[in-house]
Amino acid sequence: MEKIGIGLIGCGEISARHFNAIKELNDLELKAVSDSDPAAAEKAGKENNVPYYTDNKKLFERKDISLVAICTPISTHTDISIEVLNSGKDVLTEKPVGITLESIDKLIAVGKKTGKKIFVVHQVRYNPSVYALKNAIDSGALGKILACNLVVRWFRPEDYFDKKWYGNKKIAGGTLLNQGIHYLDIMQWLIGDVREVIGRADHIRYPKLEIEDYASALLKFKNNALGQIEINVMTYDKNFECSFTVMGSKGTVKLGGKALQTIDYWNVEGNKKPEIPRGLGPNIYEKGLYEGSVPNHLDVYKEILRELQHSGKMEMTAPEARKSVEVALAIYKSSKENSKTVSLPLQK
């Protein structure tokens, strides 16, 4: 079977996770890379022994590429993804799929028009601990889901936001859309669609920043379950926890660790705590200065490969990824309106 040719745009830190995953799968082959920074493009191209460009159009013109991975700054995801689709190729974009609902909806529309596929990297879904909790919920083992609690207490030093685009709200979107989006996705994936949000996003440790360093919210889901959220990047002086607790009528489960990779508590009627694979540890950045989410990119590519080979279906598409973005934007909207209750779907 002919290998699926892949191009990658954006040769920054996260691109290494993509390069490693592609190398692990015999049916995939990296064909070219592109980056607006000539040095970054050259470095990635030479390290992976592929052609490199500073003009994305040259990558789009290649006939041996059918899937393009987008690893660029957050605010560029939708525009570049649309260019990929219009060039006749499928696209895989890093999270979030976009930072406005209008841009995401435009992307979805172009996908439908071109008939090309849109995949989104939300690799935390592949944590073994998350799978175990989802199975317990879907099987009814927890009974009726009553409430949930999501806590992300991480740390980013002030100079982190001065580097590149991380502190620029127009590019980064905010902490909820950058660091928090994976976990908002897990929450809505496991519990269901959100009906109402009361939120607060603020600048506490870093008052001069454009983006928030602390956000909290109360949620009501369409199934009448309640939820609480705390997501911050101001916890001294390293990542402290990332936990998600679900309370049902027949059980309570808490996932934890620094990146939702462990089962910290399991009390489910008639069900023992499951034995799960150890899984991967969190991404390490800046020589250990701070950590990120668990890099299950290999699982993302495996699922994409199954769909492209017609043996499976990739769940994380643009409409699915849109849900967590809408929750984040609802929290921001509520905060701007003095923590007023905001109903979903948001009005455009």
Q: Read out DSSP for 193-248?
A: -EEEEEEEEE-SS-TT-SS-SEEEEEEEETTS-EEEEEEESBSTTS--EEEEEEEE
Report the pLDDT value the prediction gives residue 256, as an integer from 0 to 100: 95
Tally of CB atoms within 10 A around 341: 13
Name the helix (H) or strand (E) containing 266. strand 262-268
Instruction: Please write the tens of the pLDDT for every residue from 241-294.
Output: 999 999 999 999 999 988 899 999 999 999 999 988 776 665 555 544 445 667
- b/e per residue 53-72 (b: at least 16 CB within 10 A): beebeebbebeebbbbbbbb
Burial label, 333 (beta-carbon count in 10 A; 0-12, 13-18, 19+): middle
Res. 111 pLDDT band, cuts 50 70 90: very high
Report the pLDDT value the prediction gives residue 168, as an integer from 0 to 100: 92
Residues 345 and 152: their CA atoms lie apart, in Å, by 25
Burial label, 134 (beta-carbon count in 10 A; 0-12, 13-18, 19+): middle
Q: Which two tokens stand for residue 284?
A: 């390490």
Report the pLDDT value the prediction gives residue 287, as an integer from 0 to 100: 44
Instruction: Please write the tens of the pLDDT for every residue from 144-179.
Output: 999 999 999 999 999 899 877 899 999 999 999 999
Average pLDDT, the chain: 94
Using alpha carbons only, give the angle 315, 318, 324 rounded to the nearest 5 degrees. Answer: 90
Res. 22 pLDDT band, cuts 50 70 90: very high
Check whether 311 has a pLDDT greater than 90: no
Q: Of 32-46, 76-90, 303-317, which gets the smallest average pLDDT?
A: 303-317
Q: Which domains does the chain have, with CATH numbers?
A: 4-122 (3.40.50.720), 124-294+315-343 (3.30.360.10)
Burial label, 195 (beta-carbon count in 10 A; 0-12, 13-18, 19+): middle
Report the pLDDT value the prediction gives residue 294, as an integer from 0 to 100: 72
According to DSSP, the residues that pair with 118 across neighbouring strands are: 91
Q: Of 138-147, 282-291, 298-307, 321-330, which gets the smallest average pLDDT?
A: 282-291
Mean pLDDT of 43-70: 98
Check whether 10 has a pLDDT greater than 70: yes
Q: Which two tokens stand for residue 2?
A: 């002919």
Q: Are 276 and 294 in contact (CB under 8 A)?
A: no
